[in-house]
Structure 1
Amino acid sequence: MKYNLLSYLLLVLVFTGCKNNEGTVKDNYLDFSKRDDQFTGGIKMIPITTSAGKFKVWTKTVGQNPTIKVLLLHGGPGLTHELYESFDGYFPNESIEYIYYDQLGSYYSDQPDDNRLWTNERFVEEVEQVRIALGLDNTNFYLMGQSWGGILAMEYALKYQKNLKGLIISNMMASASDYNQYAENVLGPQLPKTVYDQIKAFEKNKDYTNPKYTELLFKYYYTEHILRKPLEEWPESINRCFKHINPKVYVYMQGPSEFGITGDATLKDWNVKPRLKTISVPTLTIGAKYDTMDPRHMEWISKEVQNGRFLFCPNGSHLSQYDDQKTYFSGVIRFLKDVDSGRFKRNN
């Protein structure tokens, strides 16, 4: 009887302590009073050292949680943190700290005109410098990358996974060649033949700036595979993100075509498939039915890494955080909390 009472009291103490800890995080989530970025509302211009000189990149921290801090790597290359602004509707309620971040060359950061800077290796070192400046480590640091950001997240993990607590690869395959084949053999032929033929004719002639080419892409391709809503219903944050793109960085690394990474783009031969098995940190991969990326490939990545989990968005496309929002955020939040609590298990 005495043993049972003691056990009961210990259980009460444990559960009460957990509850109080969670309550403290939630109570202090928006308390900036002891932070060095209170004056700017969480914004920091972080100095970055490169072989081409010193620059500054823009970050903004939302909330505070000592054990869950998510650094967001945007797509492009050359887009902005603005594509993540829907996170404001979900992460704060879960007391998840997250950091918006414009990579070098992107709108809110310095934009040097020097192609020597646009390499995977240089971007990885930039992320590492941002991590150090923000005081992130393997007790709290989650790295989340979407599209090009997913490439960067994989590359970072392959070099610096010792610094990570968790990794999220959203809507990105592990091979440019596989992505090209999916775009060419699966997505392109799904378009009306007359439309696809026109698009291919523009690309054959390298007439990428033709207004008709852009019109066809937005009307028939983007609304099916980038964000599945009529253009007039696209969120203002996404329109703003596209408006702020740095086309020089984008074309140099990704190329001018939306049907794969082609031409002289520096990413056209990128492939980390053989190295994925070395990633041991808990990893979530996200794929969507209508994505520009093959969701089956995303599921394969989750099985190839040592501790992977796959999230499928049945109604989503490339920006599933908007067109399959409930599925997307419930899966991401569950992953973060499972890893944080020690309950993470791979689902394959």
Structure 2
Amino acid sequence: MPSPGQLDYHADRLVITGDWTLPNYARLKQRVTATLASSQTVDQYPDLTAIEALDTAGASLLADLLGARRLLELTDEASDLPPERRDLLRLVGEAIASPAEEPSRRGSAIIAFLARVGQQVEDYWRQQRLLMGFTGQILATLVTILPTPWRWRMTPLVAHIHQTGLNALPIVALLTFLVGAVVAFLGATVLDDFGATIYTVNLVAFSFLREFGVLLAAILLAGRTASAFTAQLGSMKANEEIDALRTFGLSPIELLVIPRVLAMVISLPILTFVGMISGIIGGSLVCVMVLDISIPQILNILENKVSTIHFLVGLGKAPIFAFVIAVIGCLEGFKASGSAESVGEHTTSAVVQSIFMVILLDSIAAIFFMEMGW
């Protein structure tokens, strides 16, 4: 018949014997509580070798008696314990151990803020390394399939161009038209103080050819298309469709990512051109209706005062922005796990990262072109 657990002292050393199991839990709990309540100090070097049987309930009582931290130390020091019993004690000690057992030390708010900032910087750097690796994988796949036309997936490419380009034309044209009108109103308000309202046409043309046309189109695609890419790939991963492709020996990069990236690279320059034209038309409409500048004057200024380099600068940034947006959207889709919550989080992350990277790259390009005198 199994013997109940005991707490005995031999030569001032605590010896723990008997069965520390669930059937004896109530009696053992009372004994442990009484021992802790007494003035007798619990020995920090108890003898655990005499324990005949032990389960999770008994191990939790030992953790209450000795402390979870001390129990973890004993599992490392007590080499004469059976391995399975030592593993059980360590598992229970790790589960019960908490910072509350140690005196809590409240750090300063500055240290906590710096720690938070450091963690965010580390996460950002890890994300950028992952993005660079994913970009390299896409470029390597492109180099592999470009010389082999029979591997080009034209049907998905055309479908994604329709989705990312043609379907986005109305919203891009409307938004840039309205922003062009706003820029013209603001420019006219400021330039009127100097009697130079005629230069409103130059202001609208320069701003949309160099910056606003490509920037507004890229931000719209970052919110509209990058999120769609992430949601689509995240749902496919949740349904294990991507794993199924790998099982059949097919490359998800080649089948799912490359058509989306190429579609974005083709669509964004077209949308940028439409945005430039719509913005200039919106600004010109304000000039005609409010500033009494005739259409021939506007066309003359655009022909003689606005250089082609401004158009090329704006259009040249579009493929780079498109590539970055598509890569981020696809990467976040692959990072999503099987839950709907994860898909939603990564969709939000894709939009935020895409807009941030577009504005960052646009700032770098603006400084570069300014230094080059373009």
Decide: shared fold, TM above 0.5. no
- Give the TM-score of the pair, scaled to structure 1: 0.23
Structure (1 or 2) with the larger CA radius of gyration: 2
- Give the TM-score of the pair, scaled to structure 2: 0.22
Higher helix share: 2
Higher strand share: 1
